Amino acid sequence: SGALSAAPAPRSLRTPLAPRAMSTAPHFASDGVHVDGQMIPYGQLLAQLDDDDDDLPQPAHALAVRSMALARASLAPPALGPEALALAAAPAPTPPASLDFPEGLDTHWRDQAFLRTCARAAFNMYEAKSRDTAAEEVFPGEGLAARTVDARGDLHGVQPAFGYFVETSSATLVVTWCGSTTLADWLNNGSFTPVTSSRWGGDEADIRAHNGMSGIVENDLALYEADLQRAIEKHGVETLVFTGHSLAGGLAQVAHLLVRGEALKNPGSPWGRLLAGAGGRAPLRVKSVGFSAPMACAFPATPSAPMRALADQLNDNALTVVYGIDVVPRLPSHTEYAVKCFEAGVAEAARRSIPRWVPGMITGLVRRFVAAKKREALAALTGTSLLVDELLFVAGGAFRHSGTVLYVPAQAEDVGDEDDGSHEGAVWAGLRSCKGDGYKDLLGAPDLDAAARAGAVVSTLWDHHMKLRRFAGYRKGGPAVPIVDSDTAKADATEAASSA
């Protein structure tokens, strides 16, 4: 074919092909070549190219891949345009896992595409690895507007990266942060003093937020609040969603609290006007979606009327997705399980390199600490009253998840830190959900025995903490995942053009 004149064809294509009639033209999609009801994945085709053809120039290599696909379908290769070449040159995507939603889950959380957009935004933020990372590197793909990433410049490594974009097809503004990657992030995780803010409160009976996370969110809204509001107006945004993984999921909860709280306390503020639908526009919907996120808000036992109204709004519009035995979403209040994980992890480490007397001594002290419920007992145990009130506040369970918790139980044989793609394209079943305080019974204290028998407690805890990247279609070490699948973006663009 003249389409391959730019370079010699691979050996496997040098035998002339006998073309046959096509009932449909080949369609080059993101997952492979589709023709006459058959799909040939690009990954399979790349694997079949001979080793001595690896030095082909990239465009010719792409053409060879295309021709191989057509050869497998016994077709004569057609002329290929620039768009087809670009698709061929892209790495084969990872088929994402899907969620089998449980009965009883609120309808507006049963949107797989919406949740996957949030997951891709959350996990892609880990690609903001340098102080000058471009937004297109973190949020690749079509159908996006107002792409922005602040990788912090000279403060990179001290503050988690921040970013946002508008998904035009759904009129959704997605705001997100990077999860914990540095020592500074972990110090922020540990700064869990519950604080209020003039944005939403100013009373003893206020909803409180995690201090370290609240400071980060206040900083970013001071820098970008006006830009976000302008993007909402310019692009006709109907839904604002804060999202993130791990630490960033906690930041999303706090940002949600801050925006809704300010709108409720000050209806004349820009957020108040947007949420109320002032100026003839539809009221802005505000949500938060956290993946493997810690508890970031503390709710008073006897809230005031404004705080009760705010809590109700948060509970109707916040979601946290938890996978398996992950300990992070059970922190900081679920202390019993935290101690169980700590004890199992220390015991595992002791079998490898630490003297046997160390785990018993450490876990014994931790157990005594958690069991001490009175301030006097804790003060006597630690020899100081420093931090005692704060620790009792946490141990008493004052922090909790706001809104709905969607629990994805660990799938069969899911032990260790295996990045073998075993969940790619799978449908995760057995999901359960709850609202409010029911999370304690839902998440419970998972069984660590299987991981302990395999000597893989720590690696399994970490793997489960990162497992929801499978739902995004992201693999460890892989590139950022396009926010919107290319086929979906093209279909949306075609539909929009037809409507116009």
What is the per-residue pLDDT across 65-82, written as a single tens digit (0 to 9) for each? 555 554 444 443 444 444
d(CA 120, CA 122): 5
Measure CA 235 to chain center.
24
Cα dist. 108→115, 239, 259, 287, 364 in Å?
10, 12, 20, 10, 45
Q: Is 177's pLDDT higher than 90? A: yes
Q: Is 22's pLDDT higher than 50? A: no
Residue 282 confidence (pLDDT): 94
Q: Is 290's pLDDT higher than 50? A: yes
What does the mean pLDDT of the chain come to? Answer: 76
d(CA 124, CA 492): 23
All residues at 6 or more sequence positions from 35 whose CB lies less than 8 Å from its CB, including other chains: 22, 24, 25, 26, 27, 70, 73, 75
Confidence band (pLDDT; 50, 70, 90) for 496?
A: very low
Q: In the numeric block, which tokens belong to residue 164?
A: 């946002």
Confidence band (pLDDT; 50, 70, 90) for 172?
A: very high
CB 160 within 8 A of CB 248: yes
Q: Is 366's pLDDT higher than 90? A: no
| pTM of the complete model beyond 0.85 | no
Of 346, 354, 359, the C-alpha closest to 457 is: 346
Residue 214 confidence (pLDDT): 93
d(CA 72, CA 67): 9
d(CA 469, CA 123): 6
Residue 416 confidence (pLDDT): 53
Specify the higher pLDDT residue, 52 or 389.
389
Q: Which of 227-231, 297-301, 347-351 has the highest mean pLDDT?
A: 227-231
d(CA 263, CA 271): 5
Mean pLDDT of 262-282: 94
Residue 58 confidence (pLDDT): 42
d(CA 217, CA 224): 10
d(CA 27, CA 198): 56
Measure CA 116 to chain center.
8
Confidence band (pLDDT; 50, 70, 90) for 51?
A: very low
Residue 59 confidence (pLDDT): 41
All residues at 6 or more sequence positions from 169 whose CB lies less than 8 Å from its CB, including other chains: 143, 484, 488, 489, 492, 496
Residue 354 confidence (pLDDT): 53
Specify the higher pLDDT residue, 228 or 391.
228
All residues at 6 or more sequence positions from 308 whose CB lies less than 8 Å from its CB, including other chains: none
Q: Longest C-alpha distance within the chain, in Å?
A: 87
Q: What is the pLDDT of residues 198-256, one digit of tens each?
A: 888 877 668 899 989 999 999 999 999 999 999 999 999 999 999 999 999 999 999 99
Residue 397 gets which letter from DSSP?
T
Mode of pairing for the β-strands spanning 404-408 and 432-435 = antiparallel
Cα dist. 319→196, 282, 445 in Å?
22, 23, 21
Mean pLDDT of 479-492: 66
Mean pLDDT of 52-68: 45
Mean pLDDT of 352-362: 56
Confidence band (pLDDT; 50, 70, 90) for 28?
A: low
